[in-house]
Each structure stands twice: as C-alpha cells, then as structure tokens.
Structure 1
Amino acid sequence: MPILAMDTATMVSSVAVADEKRLLAELIVENKLTHSETLLPHVEQVLSMAGLNREDISGVAVSIGPGSFTGLRIGLAAAKAIAYGLDIPLIGVPTMEGLAWHYPVPGVVVAGFIDAQKGNVYTAHYKWTGSGFDEIRPIQVLPVTEAVALCEEVKGTVVAVGDMVNKKIAKLDGLPDNLLLPPKHMLMPRGANIAMAGLQRLASGLSDSVMNLEPIYIRRSEAEVLWEKRHGTTSSTSLPDATDGRCPGALRS
C-alpha cells in the first residue's frame, strides 16, 4: 500500500507517493510561493500523477525538523489533517534523517547542514545500517565552521547534504579531506526520501500520535528571543528539544 510523504522544512516543497517496490510520483518545487499556497495543491497533483485517490493511501510521512519554523508547522498540520481524516498512520521523520536517505551507502557517514540563521547550521551525522540509518551524532546548532570541523573527527568518507552546502560550505577554504560535496540536485530535501524513511518505520510497526507529534525545533524562535530582550525573561512557552533524533511527545505505537 502506498504512503504519501511531504517535506516543507526548507524553501523546497516536496511531495511524493511511494510503496515498498517503487517511487510512484514526486514533485519538487523551490520558488517564492509559501508552502501554505502550494502544499495541498501539490498533494492533489502527486496523487493524480500516481493514478491514486486519497482513500488509496495507507499512511502519511512528514519531515518534522529542524528547519523553517513556519514550514514545519504547515507540513505537520497538513499531514495530521490527512492522517486524521483518512484514519491512517502518521509517521514523523527528522529532516536530517530524510536528507541522509540520499546516500544509503555502507561505510559512508552522511552529514546534514541546514540553515539555522545568523551564521549557524543545524547539523547531525548518520550511518547506513542496511535497512535504515543510525544517528551517530545528534542534531545540534553550531556555527558553520565548527559543524564542518566535526567532519574531520569521522574515520572515513563524509558526504555533506542540505541547503547550507552550496550557500556557505562550498565557499569555505580548507575543507576536511574526507568531506565530499555532492552536486546540488543531491543535496536538497526530497519527499521520496521521507517516503523511504516512512516505509521503513511502518514496516517496523512504528507510527506517531496525531495528537502529540510536534516539530523538532532545537533553537528558540525569533519571537521568543525578542520577548526575552524586551521583558528580560524567556517566554513561558518552551520549545521541544531533540536528543534522540525525534521530539518528545512523539508517541510511537
């Protein structure tokens, strides 16, 4: 049975439909339109391309961050609505893990680099196990140069993925000898990657609570930072952290 997958964690909007045997359809768009304008039309378009109706979908997988706060909320809200309305499983996939699915290669470490603003990146390292990815360095926020320097500590080849590879990392001097920078089309988020990770989770009997699944934010929003500057205290609304590759409150059933 096919699953619907979507990634709205960055400027890229990607929606895909896949089953255990093949990728049925995928749409990847990067433009100035917001995800709120394009996501649901893209879902309809991908289902049409695959020759499927909504009722044919057996699950919904969605990228849950880190990434753009607004993009994550739009994607997760849409995924929850679809999963709830069709009474099908919801599967949250960390954005970094989704990026790692570009390179399911034994012995290679995949390092994700996503823009975290103000010269920082979200970064994490993953390694292929044969059926999925192990997180060998947890998601964290670091200055770009520090995140790149961590790759020198890895024994063997490290492949960089994410939007910051072209934006910043490719322009740095003295990159680690073991760090490979792929071409742009092999760097960006893809709905197909989220679908592969979602299918792997479903096959293992894992799914998330429609009511409790939350985005992985890692850092505070600009609104919270401004609140602290103006009032001298942090906002009463705390954001979830990510220490094990998923957000607290994401209930696996």
Structure 2
Amino acid sequence: MLLLALDTATPAVTVALHDGERVLAESRQVDARRHGELLLPAVDRVLAEAGVKLDAVTDLVVGVGPGPYTGLRVGLVTAASFGAALGIPVHGLCSLDGLAHAAALDTPFVVATDARRKEVYWARYDADGRRLTEPAVDRPADLAEQVAGVPAVGAGALLYDAVFTGVRRDGPEHQSGAALASAAVRALAAGEELLPPRPLYLRRPDAQVPANYKVVTPR
C-alpha cells in the first residue's frame, strides 16, 4: 500500500504519504487563503521526499470536513482528479477524526475547529480516539455546559478557551496529513468502511434565492 492523504478543510494545507506501516513524508503549511496555490506543490514535495512517483500511489484519502466551502473543495477535487487519472480508490475521512488521531489522548475528549462566524465545528471522542457523535456546528456559548472541563484540542478550542476550559494547549491545533493518513490506514486495516469523498457541509450556502424571488419568463 502507498496511501496519499490530502486535507484542506482547515487553514492547514497538508499532504502525507503512508506505506501501511509508517508515514514516509509529510508537508503542512498553514494559510487559509492559498489552498489552491499550495496543494499541488505540497504533493510534489511529499512524493519527491519519499522517492516515489504519483503513479505508484495505490490509495487516496481526503479530509471531507467539516470546513469552509472554498478550501474544502480544493482537496476534494484534487483527490477525485488523482483517483480518476490513476484508477485507484478515493476514501473520505472526517477531518475532525484526523485531529483526534493526532491528539493521542487516553481519556474522552472533544475536537473543535474554527468554523468562523463565531462558531465551531466539533465532535466528541472516546479514550481510543473514536468519534462518539456526529460532527456539528454551534456557537461556543451554547456548548458551555457540555464541554466545560472536558479535554479539548483544535483551533476552535484554543480560540474559545473561556468555554473549552479543558483545552490542551500542547495538542494539535490544525490538521496533520500524517495523522489523517495513519487514521485511514488503521481503519482500513480493521476492515472499516470509510466515508465517500464528498464534502461534509453543516451549513446552508451563503448564496440563496430570495424568498420573494419572482421568475420572469418570456411569453
């Protein structure tokens, strides 16, 4: 197995290559405005560092979010394009699960990323890093009773540490391609079915047809 992992659901543009036993190479750059510009050069760097060509890759895993529309689509479209060109499977994985894998905590915990608009994307995990709840988007204040004192990792927990009072400042802040790849390899080895490579959106789109919109057709 040579599994290439991509994730652009957070401000981190991250790529990693995993051979089924270990991570061979990883790239991560944090820049919320340059996902499209940074991703393909990152893939080239990772493959060059590992000393392999793209056509040697046997599997792809891509973070499906939750995340902002534009950045998230960059990784998904790139993974789909590689998969179609190479004729290999493309797996999806919740981006919060990658952060949970990187956290490596031995107690139940929460992962929260910055959803902007004064909200967070978040989910609960057990002591083995397995997700217990569906990903959600909420205002931090609405979660205060649920997350107070609970160990928490991620940029959302750091940003709203008055609510996520158990935030682990030594934990992962942004996504890691290496963690995403490792989580995918573990799941595949256990025979688990991963997600389809489709975006996990938890909000309605900003652009909507006005409620009083009238269609004008020529007679």
Task: Look up the match of 1:196.
Answer: 182
Please name the residue that 1:248 is paired with: none
Using a 3 Å threshold, how does the CA distance of structure 1 residues 97 and 2 change in structure 2: closer, same or farther? Answer: same
Q: CA deviation at 1:208?
A: 5.7
CA distance in 2, matches of 1:41, 1:54: 13
Change (3 A) 1:31 1:135: closer
Q: Give the 3 Å change call, closer, same or farther, for CA 192–175 of structure 1 in structure 2.
A: closer
Under a length normalisation based on structure 2, what TM-score does the superposition of the two structures give? 0.87
Question: One-letter code of the match for 1:35?
Answer: H
Q: TM-score, normalised by structure 1?
A: 0.76
**1:96 Cα offset (Å):** 1.1
Which segments of 5 or more consecutive residues in structure 2 lack a partner in the other structure?
A: 214-219
> How many angstroms apart in 2 are the aligned matches of 1:96 and 1:207?
14
Change beyond 3 A, Cα 1:47–1:34:
same
Residue 27 of structure 2 corresponds to 27
Q: Which residue of 1 aligns with 2:100?
A: 100
Residue in 2 that maps onto 1:87: 87
1:1-253 alignment, distance < 5 Å:
1-31=1-31, 33-106=33-106, 108-129=107-128, 133-152=129-148, 158-166=150-158, 168-170=159-161, 172=162, 176=165, 179-183=166-170, 186-203=172-189, 204=191, 206=193, 213-224=197-208, 227=209, 230-232=210-212
How far, CA to CA, are the matches of 1:63 and 1:104 in structure 2?
A: 18
Aligned-pair CA distance for 1:84? 1.5
Root-mean-square deviation (CA, aligned residues, Å) is 2.2
Identity %: 30
CA distance in 2, matches of 1:32, 1:95: 15
Instruction: Point out the more displaced range, 17-26 or 62-71.
Output: 17-26
1: CA distance, partners of 2:32 / 2:125: 31
